[in-house]
């Protein structure tokens, strides 16, 4: 269980909320984890249950069915979900997609989609990555060409979280292929549109219960009113939203690291070798001590980042540094924790195996660690 006694950004209301989240996950999530891993999908019943429990899109204003809370409530959910060992895509909907609709959506778009996102009736995705384009979003090749009062969308996307379940996809597309970053727009595409097809639910190393898909758009016609915000402002919107996206990944990384540490502490104190607990060997104790020191610093830094974000002061470079630090720490702790399990760590029956597998992609999506270093380096 995550210890929050020394946290500086949470008050009693947040602690009560965390207790509710924790109990809900114990009841509705943990018993289903293995099944979802095997099926490669979190079923829609869980999304509806999350909506009923108030765990989807808590920052959405009340007039659109939300709770009108601040990002700390998202962070609590992110932490508890990651600590539970789940990769369910609810955080993408709450931390990323919801803010695009709230900040840039028309009144009609907000009223049509936000209440359903809050309730879990609508599942959303954001389609950025393409087979030949990853972190360099200016290189996207998907197009949205005007034809009368419609856009005609053509292209393909890959590695799209919630791709198999999504009812609505925010598609990053070129509305003016000759205008560089100023020619990028965000287009809302409903999954019911003719010409939209889902590809494979991709076979991944980890995060198996998170449906990650190929998406195809072949002459998909959507009304011009489906443009999210202003045409040509998509790249600006994407860059504006990156700090919260990367902070959310950092939050999950820190909580995942803590869970791996706790698993290692439990295992090494119970497993005996050469007449004593594995924890009693100096190598184990010193390894764990070093990790604990880094986790202590990590939690303090995370609270600093969340506090700055609440004030609207967290910069893109600071958020990138946070993602870099916390996801690299997650991998370090998960790998060390697996090593301390010995051969048992390589067995799927132990939680550390899943934690280790699921952690690897954290240093890739949302911007690779190398891109994070580049963003930070530009400020030096």
For the beta carbon of residue 370, count every other beta carbon within 10 angstroms: 11
The CA distance from 48 to 45, in Å, is: 5
**Catalytic-role residue among 37, 214, 231, 245:** 245
E strand or H helix at 152, and its extent?
strand 150-161
Tokens of 339: 């090593």
- Residue 259 in contact with residue 355, Cβ under 8 Å? yes
- Residue 167 in contact with residue 122, Cβ under 8 Å? yes
Q: What is the DSSP string of 194-216?
A: TTEEEEEE---SS-TTS-EEEEE
Q: Which residue bears the tokens 């919260």? A: 244
Tokens of 150: 């419609």
The CA distance from 65 to 93, in Å, is: 15
Q: Are strands 168-174 and 184-190 parallel, antiparallel or unpaired?
A: antiparallel
The CA distance from 356 to 56, in Å, is: 26
Active site residue 218: no
**CA dihedral sign of residues 155, 145, 101, 325:** positive
The CA distance from 324 to 346, in Å, is: 26
Catalytic residues: 245
């Amino acid at each position: 269980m995550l210890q929050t006694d020394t946290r500086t950004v949470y008050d009693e209301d947040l602690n009560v909320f965390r207790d509710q989240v924790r109990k809900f996950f114990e009841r509705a999530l943990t018993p289903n984890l293995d099944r979802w891993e095997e099926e490669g999908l979190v079923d829609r019943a869980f999304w509806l249950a999350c909506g009923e429990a108030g765990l989807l899109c808590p920052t959405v204003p009340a007039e659109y069915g939300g709770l009108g809370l601040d990002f700390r409530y998202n962070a609590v959910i992110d932490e508890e979900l990651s600590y539970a060992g789940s990769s369910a895509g609810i955080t993408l909907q709450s931390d990323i997609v919801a803010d695009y609709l709230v900040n840039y959506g028309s009144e009609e778009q907000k009223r049509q989609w936000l209440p359903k996102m809050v309730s879990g009736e609508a599942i959303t995705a954001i389609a950025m990555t393409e087979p030949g384009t990853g972190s360099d979003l200016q290189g996207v090749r998907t197009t949205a060409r005007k034809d009368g009062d419609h856009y005609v969308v053509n292209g393909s996307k890959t590695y799209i979280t919630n791709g198999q379940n999504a009812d609505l996809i925010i598609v990053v597309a070129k509305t003016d292929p000759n205008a560089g970053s100023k020619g990028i727009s965000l287009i809302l595409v409903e999954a019911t549109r003719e010409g939209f097809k889902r590809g494979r639910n991709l076979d991944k190393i980890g995060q198996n219960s998170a449906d990650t898909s190929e998406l195809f758009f072949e002459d998909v016609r959507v009304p011009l009113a489906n443009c999210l915000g202003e045409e040509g402002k998509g790249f600006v919107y994407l860059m504006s939203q990156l700090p919260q996206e990367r902070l959310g990944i950092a939050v999950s990384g820190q909580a995942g690291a803590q869970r791996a540490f706790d698993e290692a502490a439990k295992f090494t104190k119970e497993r005996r070798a050469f007449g004593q607990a594995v924890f009693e060997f100096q190598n184990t104790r010193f390894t764990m001590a070093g990790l604990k020191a880094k986790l202590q610093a990590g939690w303090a830094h995370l609270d600093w980042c969340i506090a700055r974000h609440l004030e609207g002061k967290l910069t893109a470079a600071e958020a990138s540094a946070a993602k870099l630090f916390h996801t690299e720490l997650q991998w370090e702790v998960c790998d060390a924790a697996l090593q301390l399990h010995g051969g048992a760590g390589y067995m799927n029956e132990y939680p550390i195996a899943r934690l280790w597998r699921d952690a690897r992609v954290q240093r890739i999506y949302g911007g690779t660690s190398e891109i994070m270093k580049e963003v930070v380096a530009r400020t030096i």
